[in-house]
Amino acid sequence: MKSRLLGGMTAREFLRRHWQKRPLFVRAALPQLAPLLDARALAALSRRDDVESRIVRRRDRKWETTHGPFPKPFSGKRNATLLVSGVNLHVAAADRLLQRFDFLPQARLDDVMVSYATPGGGVGPHVDSYDVFLIQGRGRRRWRVWFRRKIFEYLAKPGDLLYLPPGLKHDGVALEPCFTYSVGFRAPRGAELGAAFLDFLHERGLRDAAYRDPRLAPTRHSGAIPGEMVSFARTALENIRWSRADVLGFLGAYLTMPKAHIVFASTNRKGAWIRLDGKTQLLYRGAQFFINGEAFGLPARDRAAMRELADRRAIAGPRLARQSRLIAKWRQAGYIHREKGDG
């Protein structure tokens, strides 16, 4: 189905032509987009210690960054930007905006960052290591994008969208007080995954033999690494083994693990529908399921319903009636909520 959000392309066409290949600017991609929040509400979020925020101010040709939480309200007549990450975790409208991009795997979706800039505000020319959709809220912003040795300029007005693949230098400057909504995507790096995976294996009983040298002889070169120690290290590392199941178990837990500052809160709302909390990540692969860093399995008869909950983030409660104990546990933890309506 062709989408106005993607400039009249289908999701398949967009992914083939632009995703991680070239930028895309769409005029009036979201023409009826209502403000996600106002400047006062954004500043209130920046004062919380469970929210990531920063302020960037431009002084001549230099940009100065300070990190929140900020005890005082954001202020600045020119050249200043307040940026708040993870707004979708606290504002329902931002979460609904994030879900507009559900043609992409949730395992890749990260968050919605909201920036409010005064005239001249921006963060300076920079390169991101991830894909991003930049949606213009109230106000106008001028973008410059460096692509294939050329500089492209776009004047973003409310409802316009700019998609940027990783690695493209870009710069956005507010022409007037304006909001920009950044839908970002996570892309773990190999070294990051490797370090986390070794921690995962260690926690699950990776063999931890101690080095011993009962036949140690006197040495004339105390600065030399003993050959026996090299052999021990080689044997210990060669004995590290893992299976495809280990990789899936690690990746599912890694991708759904909440960030350190995330806090869940249970509610007493009643209703026939089950909805995932905005902070909850529920993913699956085959018969294996993962929620907020925890792995779990289900009988075959309940897997389709759980996959539907993961895909749609809401489901009619009776569909998971046989998992009432699990649902009650998640509800108490704040992972899910009950609500009325049709989802």
Which of the four pLDDT bands, split at 50, 70 and 90, describes residue 29? very high
177 and 35 belong to one structural domain: yes
Round the average pLDDT of the chain to a whole number and report it: 93
Q: pLDDT at residue 6 above 90? A: yes
Report the percent of the chain where pLDDT is more than 90.
76
- Residue 210's identity, in one-letter code, is A
Number of domains the chain contains:
3
Global pTM? 0.87
- CATH at 260: 3.40.366.30
Q: What share of the chain is helix, strand, coil (3-state, %, to 5)?
A: 30, 25, 45
* 34-43, 82-91, 222-231, 280-289, range with the lowest pLDDT: 222-231
Q: pLDDT at residue 293 above 70? A: yes
Collapsed DSSP state (helix, strand, coil) of residue 156: strand
For residue 85, give both structure tokens: 């990450």
Q: pLDDT at residue 183 above 70? A: yes
288 and 306 belong to one structural domain: yes
Q: Which of 208, 242, 276 is the last residue of a domain?
A: 242
Mean pLDDT of all residues in 254-258: 94
Q: Note the pLDDT tens digit of each residue in 128-155.
A: 999 999 999 999 999 999 999 999 999 9
146 and 270 belong to one structural domain: no
CA distances from 212 to 215, 226, 282, 296 (A): 9, 12, 45, 40
DSSP 197-237: HHHHHHHTT---PPP--TT----S-TTSPPHHHHHHHHHHH
82 and 149 belong to one structural domain: yes
Residues 94-127 as b/e (b if ≥16 CB within 10 A, e otherwise) read bbebbeebeebebbebbbbbbbbbbbbbbbeeee
Q: Note the pLDDT tens digit of each residue in 98-112.
A: 999 999 999 999 999
Handedness of CA 21, 102, 122, 192 (dihedral sign): negative
112 and 258 belong to one structural domain: no
Q: What is the pLDDT of residue 342?
A: 61
Owning domain of residue 277: 249-339
Mean pLDDT of all residues in 157-168: 97
Report the alpha-carbon distance of residue 51 to residue 69 in Å, rounded.
Answer: 7
Contact 113, 83 (CB under 8 A): yes
Q: What is the pLDDT of residue 203?
A: 80
Specify which of 222-226, 263-267, 327-331 reaches the highest per-range mean pLDDT. Answer: 327-331
Q: Note the pLDDT tens digit of each residue in 9-23.
A: 999 999 999 999 999
Collapsed DSSP state (helix, strand, coil) of residue 36: coil
